[in-house]
A = this chain, B = another copy of it.
Amino acid sequence: MQKFQVNFLPDNKSILVEKDRTILSAAISAGVYINSVCGGDGVCGRCKVVLKEGKVSAQPNGIITAEERKNNIYLACLTNIHSDLVVEILESSRPELGEHLSSLYSRAEDIQPVNTKLKEGLFKHSPFATKIYLELPTPTLNDSVSDLERLYRALRNFEDFPVIQTGLFNIRQLGELLRDSEWKVTVTLGKRNDTVEIVLVESGDTTDRNFGLCFDIGTTTISGQLIDLNSKKILGTKATYNQQATFGNDVITRIVYAGQTDGLEKLHEAVCSTMNQIIRELTSDNNIDLNDLNCIVCSGNTTMIHLLLSVDPAHIRKEPYVPTANFLPVLRAAEAGININPRGLLSCVPGVSSYVGGDTTAGVLSSGIYQKDDLCILIDIGTNGEIVLGSKDFLVACAASAGPAFEGSGVTSGMRASSGAIQKVSINKADFNVKYSTIGDKKPRGICGSGYIDLLSSMLEAGIIDKGGKIKAEGKRIRQTDTGKEFVVCFKDETDNSSDIVINEADIENLKRSKAAIYSATAILAKHLGLQLSEISKIFIAGGFGTYLDIEKAIKIGLLPDLERSKFVFIGNSALAGAKQILLSNQAMLMANILASKITYFELSVDPGYMDEYSQALFFPHTDLKKFPTVSF
């Protein structure tokens, strides 16, 4: 078997491959990433390379112009190797490099729930993408079925797949690949709704390299995890602000922006860029090749998913609030602009309605409330807060526009729950001195959601603020500014960025509105179902709070209802956890489909008591103190 060395510039990575392999396929084997939108079907023209040295033959395409041919420019996916080569990947064909996300989470533990009750192994391990190593019988005159049928036959011997689909890309390579690899190949299979697709065929046994990603695409924060699909191990977790935030803080402003000229394009690019940055960080930390990422599962609210796929979300905000799609087909990730293996697949967790999306479905899945005999409630605290009440018998969900304050956005010293964020606070009643701890025990850089909950609760207890949220005390930490009073949590000599960390009255107002939105939505949902909150046996609290959330203090400020403390379980990012379950098990994927159909949406704004309930919640903890019997300051 003749082999040739292909050297890829500018990376200067080399690989030895069989004659007639395509340059794209060689690059994949060499761990060199080349852009693609069509997944190697020869139609998108994104994988252009310059042939510096060597002999190739180009397969049919109408994309390369005469001018480009003259300059030795070829499509990597349609050009076969006929000698040793030196190939330069055009800059436009390389993944765009952004700044290093120094502020991202770097340890998986950072965003894992500390007190999770999630059952491991609930669903059978059957990941979104599976690799199967096959040693095919060599054809003879008596066994001369075609190459593709030989492959299908072996796959069906392995498992009884009902419908197998394959694209031309794989078929075009198959003849040479099977012979060059001496009939020993690894097939990557991806689940595409009710069918199975041959995503990739590779030479030899590559089954040990099968990775996937799960994402929670939030309005404010995007979190991603890199998973080894064989061992189910989390290899890394990163989160960062959604770059879409430039175009508006909540889903409504984003939808409005999408309606402007090039608005949809800009929002789409922002979410892709954020996700690609996270992917780059995760793979580079773990020394994993982008081409070995075979699939990705995304949970997100309905608007985020529309924007990810460049689908106009306009009708989400117009009565009767109908999205274009809640159940989306499995796509090639490249179609959405996400840089994994050019043929890798992307699935979006199905949503319930315009304002209760796949993130909620994923949360219901991972919290397990759909299996409980007793009434449970899931409160997902995010920019779009979602509350689901139910059990194995029924599930009703509503959405509360809480704003991004608890994600550290729109508040003066706010930041995400990442390294250097103040997450625990206590205040000495006598001198107002502040004790705090930060994530990673770094010098403080700002305050994250759980820090704000502690801070508000401590300021109330110390008498620094009143129940309306006004700063009423005096002291060296309390300063008058043009826009009202502020309280200094950390003076700049202690901080990482040489500026004071403060909370002002506008911040408090902002946080108060957020907590009121979450609390009143929870209360109205129970009332709508004719239930007392006390009838609920378990309250699952989800959200991007890092590893820590003080339930006691969250009740004290009136964010959570005043119920027996043992009923509360903090489960961290339940949307990401659900997406991970779906990535790892087809059974979880099927369950998500069932749940998205089963959950009933309740539109808060149609309830006549909602505005009243909300207004009453605009106090710490609440106007009606009978609702918070255990809270006193």
Contacts and interface: CB of A to CB of B under 8 A. Distances in A.
A492 interface: no
A268 interface: yes
Nearest to A57: B261
Contacts of A71: none
16 contacts: A45-B63, A57-B264, A59-B264, A59-B265, A60-B269, A62-B337, A144-B322, A145-B322, A146-B327, A150-B322, A165-B193, A168-B311, A168-B331, A171-B329, A172-B309, A175-B324
A314 interface: yes
A271 to B, nearest CB: 10
A203 to B, nearest CB: 16
Q: Which of A140, A141, A146, A320 has the most CB of B within 10 A?
A: A146
A195 interface: yes
A354 interface: yes
A490 to B, nearest CB: 42
Contacts of A139: 320, 322
A325 B171 contact: yes
A321 interface: yes
A611 interface: no
A319 B141 contact: yes
A254 interface: no
Contacts of A179: 315
B323 A146 contact: yes
A58 interface: yes
Contacts of A45: 44-45, 63
Interface string A128-152: 0000000000011101111111100
> Which 8 pairs show the lowest CB-CB distances between chains A and B?
A60-B265, A148-B325, A43-B44, A60-B268, A37-B43, A146-B326, A163-B194, A175-B324
A337 B78 CA distance: 15
B326 A145 contact: yes
A9 interface: no
Given A265-B60, A603-B141, A328 B171 contact: yes
Interface of A: 20, 37-38, 41, 43-46, 57-63, 139-141, 143-150, 162-163, 165-168, 171-172, 174-176, 179, 192-195, 261-265, 268-269, 309-312, 314-315, 319-329, 331, 335, 337, 353-354, 601, 603, 606
B163 A195 contact: yes
A48 to B, nearest CB: 12
A163 to B, nearest CB: 4
Contacts of A264: 57, 59-60
A268 to B, nearest CB: 4
Given A43-B335, A148-B324, A354-B144, A309 B59 contact: no
A147 B312 CA distance: 12
Contacts of A353: 144
B321 A144 contact: yes
A353 B141 CA distance: 11
Given A168-B309, A265-B60, A326-B146, A38 B43 contact: yes
Contacts of A41: 335
A326 B171 CA distance: 11
A167 B353 CA distance: 21
B38 A172 contact: no
A456 to B, nearest CB: 37
Contact of A60 (B146, B310, B322): B310
A43 B342 CA distance: 13
A320 B146 CA distance: 10
Nearest to A194: B163
A599 to B, nearest CB: 13
B149 A325 contact: yes
Contacts of A193: 163, 165
A231 to B, nearest CB: 31
A309 B171 contact: yes
Given A144-B354, A145-B326, 20 more contacts: A37-B43, A41-B335, A57-B264, A58-B265, A59-B265, A60-B264, A60-B265, A62-B337, A140-B320, A141-B319, A141-B603, A141-B606, A143-B320, A147-B323, A149-B325, A163-B194, A167-B329, A171-B324, A172-B312, A175-B314
